[in-house]
Structure 1
Amino acid sequence: MDRRLLILFLTIFIDLMGFGIFIPVVPIYARELNASDALVGDTGALFSLMMFIFTPVWGVMSDRYGRRPIILAAIGLSALSYVMFAHATTLFLLIASRMLTGIGSGNITAAQAYITDITPPEGRAKAMGLIGAAFGLGFIFGPPMGSFIYMHFGIEWVGYSAAIICALNLVAVWLYLPESLKEKVHGRAITVKPVGGAIRALKDQRFRDLYLISFIFITAFSMMQMTIALFWTDDYGLDKEQIGWMFAAVGLASAIVQGGMIGWLQKTFGERRLMIFGCLSLAVGLGMIAFIPQSLFLPLNIVSIALLALGNGCLNPTILSQLSKNAEQREQGEVLGLNQSFGSLARIVGPALGGRLYGWHHALPYIGSGLIMLGALFYVYTYQRAKDRVPA
């Protein structure tokens, strides 16, 4: 493995472990601060709104100034937001701290662009799978750590622990991650126009359907992710620590698929089939959550987690690989930043919709997300048909 990929893998793992600490904590803590189910969803939506606004900016800045300084700046801002979270004793401070974390979440865009700088097109799906594995491993260790700290040391140390992890990450990047961008685009303007940028991006036939597939996929997944801790607590009686271990199982399965299987899956089935398999696996894995009886909670949740990991592992690296192959080298950061922006927009819609559906009936977020993933197949078909019409 390229030494830079290993360092980047460790960097993203540490960063995502700090991020994963908050996944089981924020919905439950928001409810303890008397937030309604809808407002719990809106807390996640506002975090993602900031990502939607600022992620394209980080992407363009990484093209202009380089990947390394953007990664460093994003980690520093995240650390500051986690310290603020440690002192969030009101809903206002909780939401404000999560919004600041969203502003600082430019790390992944720069990391994805870094990969495109150092890998050939045919190796990018596998390399992007390594980033997915870092996500998975971060979610293995982060959620149970967050749940354990929350239960035994209080909300303050959830924030402080994440800030310490960020500080360690900052030192590691500063010492060991070299710059990857050889030709910086200094003349590129930096603007904050996420809606206009998204609309313009949808006019580009190279990327339109991929952006839409990504948006639908992440909307469906975030509907589940923001409400599942409440569902496991309300309907199955799980405590905070058990919820953390459930998220760890999701992370472990994702790490296995994206870290160890994506290269084999790509060679065996090809990216075309992986996009279809991914949508179907996610549709079934999400939809079945609503119908799991208490007596079969563990075995059927294992099946659901396996399907979610397989679907995520098939779809996400493949979308990133297709985007990077369709983009010119000078626009890699911008294109991947726009994809992150569509993902952030989906994470605005998904939690807000999921929280409201959960308030109406606990099963609705999972039935709805499964149906949404079936709808994504239309755009997969549209994209693949358009690719077939392009001369080789």
Structure 2
Amino acid sequence: MSDSPTNPYEPAATPPLPGAPSSGPRQAAMAFILLTLFIDILGIGIVIPVLPELVRELVGEDPVSATMIVDAASIDVSSIDVAVTDAVAASETKSFSRAGRYVGVIGATYALMQFLFAPIIGALSDRFGRRPVLLCSMFGLGIDFLIQGFATNIAWLFAGRVLAGIMGASLTTGNAYIADVSTDDNRARNFGLVGVMFGLGFTIGPALGGLLGGISLRLPFFVAAGLALVNWLYGYFVVPESLGVDKRTAFTLRGANPLDSLRRLADYPLVAALAAVFVCKSLAQRGLENVWVLYTGFKFDWDAGVNGLALGLVGVMAIIVQGGMVRPTIKRFGERGAVVGGTIISAIAFAGYGLASEGWMIPMIIVFGAFGGVAGPAIQSLVTGSVSETEQGRIQGALTSLTSLTNIIAPLFFNTLLFSYFISDQAPFVLPGAPLLVGSALLTASIFIAINVFRRFPKPAS
């Protein structure tokens, strides 16, 4: 890329956004990055309703074999219908249990790649700027969706998820970009707008994915690939750099070490103390995301279309709450109050999901639980407000690594262990909602941890 100052995308020609007296460049940069994040999230949301179903297709499980039917018929002709129905149910349970194990391992693989690469990507963005890192990630994500769409066996799907984890670590750079262009006054609002983009992406994406999945389980992956590549083109021609050359820091292998990056949190005591809250909240949230489609499919017989609509409702509520309630909530209760109050609501909602006996209850719980979304932007605002401008990429990378480390555990624990076990013959009783009840317990633990942290680190007097 040319060093000429006439290049509109070269950092030297970009206004020094973090320190600029005018809010114009910052507002324009926010608009650019928000649209970029929206297209990214839309592509990810499209595949959510169909990925577990694709796993079930690739691992294979005959619904009912001819031998099972013949054996059932030879026992008692009058009980053929009952025997076949029982055989179908048993086979379906086995199929869900097996898919749950694979989905758990695939999810852990994705998270492992995020853990390993998030600090590398964060450090690279601190050295070379946010824009080139974002562009590489956007292009890689498009290739990843193509790999998954063309996958003919589970090994190819694993390969796709490996690449997805590497490219997904770019959210670190997105958060650092937003920190670059934010001020103390609008930081919480800006991270709330990220929640709006997530909401829009998860409103349109899963609903569209469910519709496309009804045509073909692979079609959503190809549409997502197209969106990611369009996003790459948009970023190449439109998205400006946010980190001035004077604020960049050298790239070192030690700084890119995922374990070493976690030690950087010690430089910021409040952020380090909040790490345990991150762990509990991340475990619960990732558990919900990983088990949702399998849980609703098993318990309520929801297909990709119904799950798409339900996840679309999640997105609508995220838009309402994070777009219109984050700023007034934080203004009224403060960042710390929003963290505690939002997490209490989430803990109650998780328990509701796990105990729901009918599918019609889920939308009401979604609406209630959405109000817990104020906690996320409040935590991000606390973190970024405690970190210097030159360290935003590294600290965001460290936090992404931390949550990714817990995300390695979450799918294995919630899917492969809890869900698969509690719907199997080995379980003392059938309880498909067990992962969600455990998630509620983790969120409850994070409430008490947060209260303790805020007592140890009282808010400075203004």
Q: Common fold, TM-score beyond 0.5?
A: yes
Partner of 1:351: 411
Q: Does 1:210 align with 2:270?
A: no
Match of 2:362 among 293, 298, 301: 301
Q: 5 Å matches for 1:273-288?
A: 273-288=337-352
Match of 1:180 among 232, 236, 242: 242
Partner amino acid, structure 2, of 1:386: R
CA change 1:384–1:144 in 2 (3 A) is same
TM-score by length of 1: 0.94
Is contact 2:264–2:395 with CA below 8 Å preserved after alignment? no
How far 1:107 sits from its partner (Å)? Answer: 2.8
| Structure 1 runs not aligned, ≥5 long | none
Alignment partners' CA distance in 1, 2:275 and 2:123: 17
How far 1:85 sits from its partner (Å)? Answer: 0.8
Q: Which moved more, 1:214-223 or 1:146-155?
A: 146-155
Equivalent residues, number: 387
Partner of 2:171: 108
Deviations 1:289-339 (A, max 9, x none): 121122xx32x322321233221x221111111111110111011111211
Alignment partners' CA distance in 1, 2:337 and 2:179: 23
Alignment partners' CA distance in 2, 1:390 and 1:274: 17
CA change 1:332–1:388 in 2 (3 A) is same
Q: Does 1:239 align with 2:303?
A: yes
Match of 1:140 among 167, 181, 203: 203
CA change 1:204–1:264 in 2 (3 A) is closer
Match of 1:70 among 117, 133, 143: 133
Partner of 2:162: 99
Partner amino acid, structure 1, of 2:281: F
CA change 1:378–1:207 in 2 (3 A) is same
Alignment partners' CA distance in 1, 2:196 and 2:38: 8
Deviations 1:209-266 (A, max 9, x none): 2222122111101111111111111111111111111111111111211112111111
SS in structure 1 at match of 2:151:
coil
Partner of 1:38: 101
Deviations 1:70-102 (A, max 9, x none): 110110111111111111111111111011011
How far 1:390 sits from its partner (Å)? Answer: 6.1
Partner of 2:356: 292
Is contact 1:284–1:370 with CA below 8 Å preserved after alignment? yes
Is contact 1:121–1:324 with CA below 8 Å preserved after alignment? no
Alignment partners' CA distance in 2, 1:101 and 1:184: 29
CA change 1:276–1:237 in 2 (3 A) is same
Alignment partners' CA distance in 1, 2:101 and 2:337: 37
TM-score by length of 2: 0.80
Is contact 2:268–2:386 with CA below 8 Å preserved after alignment? no
Q: Does 1:7 align with 2:7?
A: no
Partner of 2:89: none
Q: Which has more radius of gyration?
A: 2
Is contact 2:148–2:156 with CA below 8 Å preserved after alignment? yes
How far 1:204 sits from its partner (Å)? Answer: 4.6
Alignment partners' CA distance in 2, 1:171 and 1:178: 13
Is contact 1:226–1:351 with CA below 8 Å preserved after alignment? yes
CA change 1:203–1:27 in 2 (3 A) is farther
Alignment partners' CA distance in 1, 2:40 and 2:292: 23
Q: 5 Å matches for 1:336-347?
A: 336-347=396-407
Partner of 2:330: 266
Partner amino acid, structure 2, of 1:304: I
How far 1:203 sits from its partner (Å)? Answer: 7.1
Q: Which moved more, 1:3-12 or 1:301-310?
A: 301-310
SS in structure 2 at match of 1:143:
helix
Match of 2:44 among 19, 29, 35: 19
Is contact 1:61–1:190 with CA below 8 Å preserved after alignment? no
Is contact 1:112–1:336 with CA below 8 Å preserved after alignment? yes
Deviations 1:334-376 (A, max 9, x none): 1112112222222222111111101122121011000010000
Partner of 1:386: 456
How far 1:122 sits from its partner (Å)? Answer: 2.6
Match of 1:85 among 148, 156, 165: 148
Partner of 1:158: 220
How far 1:202 sits from its partner (Å)? Answer: 5.3
How far 1:186 sits from its partner (Å)? Answer: 4.2
Partner amino acid, structure 1, of 2:439: S
Alignment partners' CA distance in 2, 1:381 and 1:169: 40
Alignment partners' CA distance in 2, 1:248 and 1:319: 25
Alignment partners' CA distance in 1, 2:47 and 2:409: 19
Partner of 2:442: 372
Alignment partners' CA distance in 2, 1:203 and 1:350: 28
